[in-house]
Structure 1
């Protein structure tokens, strides 16, 4: 399990967060990534990770008002103050908990020049204001996240390149890429210089990465041969239980290389 991190937004979600971290460690994961852990004290998360020897990779920025269908604030015009205040609180939490990256949620809004400009301004502000963290952006497929600012890697990379961001990278989620009907291998080749983290799940069901329309093992082999040396985030929904599906992950390990534990942290 050296190269695999457990995404605890989906795995063991019947447990409270600290027990999820312990369960991931017991299962052999060396790293975890979180969604929105803000109802648990950051110091408790830090202590739990230290006690279990698990590395905390990253977490997501606040989503906004869920009752209104919001899924991030960074690209929403007129919400800049709310985004920045929320990000400062989230960043303090992440740093205290031991994370070194933050996935910034762009939000549900048309992909217009104005929305991209708002996102760019907020990202430049984040890089300048929170030097302790690196940032990640993730395109979410249009089936699971209709109306989200970007669905494709090229749309996300466009923001990074247009704004000349220095500490912001792409989450390359094979599930989201495959769900859009794209070839993950070809998309990775196009944008490998921008990739900060890779995630996996079966396409199209988002279950354990052992079946579906995308050969996950072959794709990971391609990514590794192409020079990717970071963590592989397991962000899938178990068909039954996490432990019942672990043999599928163990089968993937044979196609993975050296432990990235000393590499730049990613999520």
Structure 2
């Protein structure tokens, strides 16, 4: 089923535009070949977590030959062997954070992407105050660099089950941080999977914070598999988001139950 065009039905409603998150989809392929697979599967846009094992030239060539739109990319998240999950809120790691963001920005600019997600990091409870000050300062620096290149900076609340001790957990906290940063190009990644685990009420939360949302992502809850199982009815949720004014891409960021191509029938609901 091809979804590479926006379909306008008689009521004038615009159907969702789905982006393939190549951090999770087509995991058996090298990063550049995942772009080919996404195009073959009918996606019109792609986004990434950490594609840095591929060169910019490889990714750009794949995007060009498939005529796909590049969206967001994650900045490098530090040393996973040390349990790091981002650097932005870590006091004393400002230089590492700046280098990581600059690396992501170089990819985003070359690939003509739209946004960079810079992860906050794991912070002990007794360091929350210092971490917030560091987070705000680093986000301002990142936002100024991104603004010069015409990019958004995204921050994303992660649920405490998948990301214990992660600094940013709720959309309320994220909205507070965005306000304190005071940069127009800092927005929230509205990941329905994480936010459902952290309290749910997704439609009301989107309605409240819609002016701060820069991107939406979906996955089944609680398994983080295809968005056709679990406790969320995405056709109704996305219809509500659309009615509330969301016209952006919907990132398919889920872990396939099997081969990615075999699980794409969830799109038929749209």
Fold shared by both chains (TM-score > 0.5): yes
- The answer to whether the 8 A contact 2:75-2:116 is kept is yes
Structure 1 residue corresponding to 2:145, chosen from 104, 107, 129: 129
Structure 2 residue corresponding to 1:207, chosen from 209, 218, 225: 225
What whole-Å deviation, never above 9, does each CA across 1:167-206 have from its counterpart, x for those lacking one? Answer: 1100101111112232111111121110010000111111
Quote the residue 1:189 is aligned against: 207
SS at match of 2:190: strand
SS at match of 1:93: helix
Please say if 1:113 is aligned against 2:113: no
Distance (Å, rounded) in 1 between the aligned partners of 2:199 and 2:185: 29
Distance (Å, rounded) in 2 between the aligned partners of 1:9 and 1:129: 25
Quote the residue 1:260 is aligned against: none
Quote the residue 1:77 is aligned against: 91
SS at match of 2:154: strand
Structure 1 residue 235 displacement after superposition: 0.4
Distance (Å, rounded) in 2 between the aligned partners of 1:99 and 1:26: 20
Distance (Å, rounded) in 1 between the aligned partners of 2:42 and 2:181: 39
Quote the residue 2:20 is aligned against: 6
- The answer to whether the 8 A contact 1:138-1:171 is kept is yes
Q: How many residues in Structure 1 have an aligned counterpart in Structure 2?
A: 252
SS at match of 1:136: strand
Quote the residue 1:20 is aligned against: 34
Structure 1 residue corresponding to 2:76, chosen from 58, 62, 66: 62
- The answer to whether the 8 A contact 1:127-1:134 is kept is yes
Distance (Å, rounded) in 2 between the aligned partners of 1:27 and 1:103: 25
What whole-Å deviation, never above 9, does each CA across 1:111-156 have from its counterpart, x for those lacking one? Answer: 7232111111011111223321211011011111111111111111
Structure 1 residue 95 displacement after superposition: 1.1
Quote the residue 1:239 is aligned against: 257
TM-score, length basis structure 2: 0.90
Structure 1 residue 94 displacement after superposition: 2.0
Please say if 1:174 is aligned against 2:192: yes
- The answer to whether the 8 A contact 1:42-1:94 is kept is no
Structure 2 residue corresponding to 1:93, chosen from 90, 93, 107: 107
* Bigger relative contact order (CA 8 A; separation at least 6): 1
TM-score, length basis structure 1: 0.91
What whole-Å deviation, never above 9, does each CA across 1:58-115 have from its counterpart, x for those lacking one? Answer: 1101110110010000000000011112211221122112212100111011472321
Distance (Å, rounded) in 2 between the aligned partners of 1:127 and 1:11: 29
Quote the residue 1:264 is aligned against: none
SS at match of 2:90: coil
CA RMSD of aligned residues (A): 1.2
